[in-house]
Structure 1
């Protein structure tokens, strides 16, 4: 039996790791340990609990208005104690957060194999998104096994000199999580959203929180307000808890009758909101994957993206961060049913609900415990109705 540590710190990491953890716990070949750095402590614990999971070790590194360097240093220091004591056979990290970078570097320092889940994403611009693009490039230099969501991600890694034998195309586990969450969503989680089922206007799910968007957050919020001014749309904003984000957005949108601001939702409630939304306007990486999976047109608050597949298929559109650009793009979809339908029916390139199975299969193959898994084929991910076929068997 191989001991594997899954190191995570943020809610998106918990969401995307949850289907993998569930399968590892059922697999007699593995003994998984869930390690929380505490980067987004409450949201991470809450999200794992929705999947019936819990943390095995909590490092609690969170500090008020923490800096990137401070957070990374505290995670490294904590893992420097944990890893020699527990000595896992592999460390799994996900994506591109401070936790991802620190987890990979700490494992590398202790000569423990690093498995990078959601590997190979590249925007091509080191400063966008910041610091994620830098983090993911650095992790690729020390990872032993690269689990790429798409064939395009694989190509990026090959161009950077990663051997093909070390890359497995799995699809993205966020689709596994979303399909599971959509089946288990019970309520809205917030009283201010209870009337959404009866809402006759189009519902726009809006969010922004990335550091590279901070200078433009007020402009983004003004765009949301102008869309709400139309009278034919209701804007719902699950507002990030970061004080810098709240201080920029709240003064602009507060008090508008057609804007609903809520605290971040429990994951299952968020899945329900994703399914209810008619449009998504966000800088969230997850939204760029979840929107296309649900057939929901998605406007990305960026000029470049590492998730180019949805731009190429037409399921998402880059709209920048200016007020005028956002309003123009959203209005074109609200006013043109043909344009809206074209985006809603575009191909979902990110998953078929079996990415977690491929992830566990790749891990087993790495250790010589099983055959190489079949690779993800995006052709199997055409949107049919509001949910794609091929739901992973994750429910207990």
Structure 2
């Protein structure tokens, strides 16, 4: 039997951890691989929540997060520290996911050592290098030299092929976030106590229609975040709804939302949720307001419409399928489109019943098989 192929999976944020733990599980269970994990801890607390629930213990924890860290300082530290791990491990492949600073730095460190890179969730493009920022450029950089591009959808594959990527290196695998959602949903069903932290809110808002919300994008800091807060305040003037908003820890989000929304009876500003609780929020919400990428994929898997508070999206599949709609950060538009879904059953049903284009929950195994070739 051939010696197992050493795979080093590198990630640093909560979304990366969610989308990669199904692959880490699959690699760990597959005798074809010697699986190793390196985390940058670009997001410390939120990352640790996912590691704990998914029972992933990193072999290397770089703990790079520092208060007020600039993008260039983070990039430089990540590049150097991930490089040291690569020199110690000498893997056959490096796996990265998505578009964070950790992804770009990890991939470049591997490239400098001529180690092939597998890019999970490859091919997402918004067409605007400043929306989302800096993620759009991060993923484009990795796309120029990855040896294996695991595109979540046909649209992502086509974007790569338009950039003259070698077709032999591009494979449509589905999105591992659907694998993760299936896994955590089954875990919560077996252990209901995992989501008991929302019980009080569910009781408090019994009989109301719940809107779930997330907002954290850098390009929305400033006026965009103020507009979003204004829109939520106006929506919350309705007596029939309640907003549950896990507020991102970044001061650019936290300060604005607390100033505008704290004290409103039917708005719950809560701490960031761990993954099981967030999956529960998706389940109990009637619709989602978000500027997140992952929510655009997760909510439709549960039949929940998504209004995307951004000017562009690198996930146009959801918009094309009808599961998501771009509403930008204009307060009037956010209010109008939210109330349309609340008050027009046909409009709501059209989005809720649209086909989710992002996967079937079998993506991690497909990626394993590609890495074994």
- How would you bin the TM-score normalised by the shorter chain? over 0.9
- How many Å separate the matches in 1 of 2:284 and 2:195? 14
- Whether the 8 Å contact between 2:7 and 2:95 is mirrored in structure 1 is yes
80 and 191 in structure 1: CA distance in 2 versus 1, 3 angstrom threshold = closer
In the alignment of these two chains, the number of paired residues is 365
Q: How far has the Cα of 1:316 moved from its partner?
A: 0.7
Distance 1:93 1:302 in 2: 25
Q: 1:172-200: CA deviations, max 9, x gaps?
A: 00001011111222247575652416621
> 2:279 maps to what in 1?
271
Per the alignment, residue 22 of structure 2 pairs with 19
Match of residue 202, structure 2, among 189, 192, 196: 196
Whether the aligned pair in 1 keeps the contact of 2:60 and 2:85 (CA below 8 Å) is: no
Whether the 8 Å CA contact 1:190–1:262 is kept in 2: the answer is no
1:326 maps to which residue? 334
The CA RMSD measured in Å over matched residues stands at 1.2
Is 1:81 matched up with 2:89?
Answer: no
Task: Please tell me whether residue 165 in structure 1 is matched to residue 172 in structure 2.
Answer: no
| Contact 2:41 2:63 survives alignment (8 Å) | yes
Residues 308/99 of structure 1: CA separation in 2 closer, same or farther (3 Å cut): same
Give the whole-Å Cα distance in 2 for the aligned partners of 1:174 and 1:61: 25
- CA distance 1:248–1:95, change in 2 (3 Å): same
Residue 258 (str. 1) matches residue 261 (str. 2):
no
Give 2:321's aligned residue: 313
What pairs with 1:173-192 in structure 2 (closer than 5 Å)? 173-185=176-188, 186-187=192-193, 189=195, 191=197
SS in 1 for 2:269: strand
Q: CA separation in 2, counterparts of 1:190 and 1:281? A: 23
Cross-structure match for 1:393:
none
Matched, 1:28 2:31: yes
Output aligned runs, 1:1-396, within 5 Å: 1-185=4-188, 186-187=192-193, 189=195, 191=197, 193-196=199-202, 199-215=206-222, 216-365=224-373
- TM-score of the two chains, using structure 2 as the length reference: 0.96
Contact 1:192/1:260, CA 8 A, preserved across alignment? no
Question: Which residue does the alignment assign to 1:370?
Answer: none
Q: 1: CA distance between counterparts of 2:160 and 2:42?
A: 27
TM, length-normalised to structure 1: 0.90
Greater Cα offset, 78-87 or 144-153: 78-87
Name the CA distance, whole Å, in 2 between partners of 1:118 and 1:86: 24
How far did 1:6 drift? 0.5
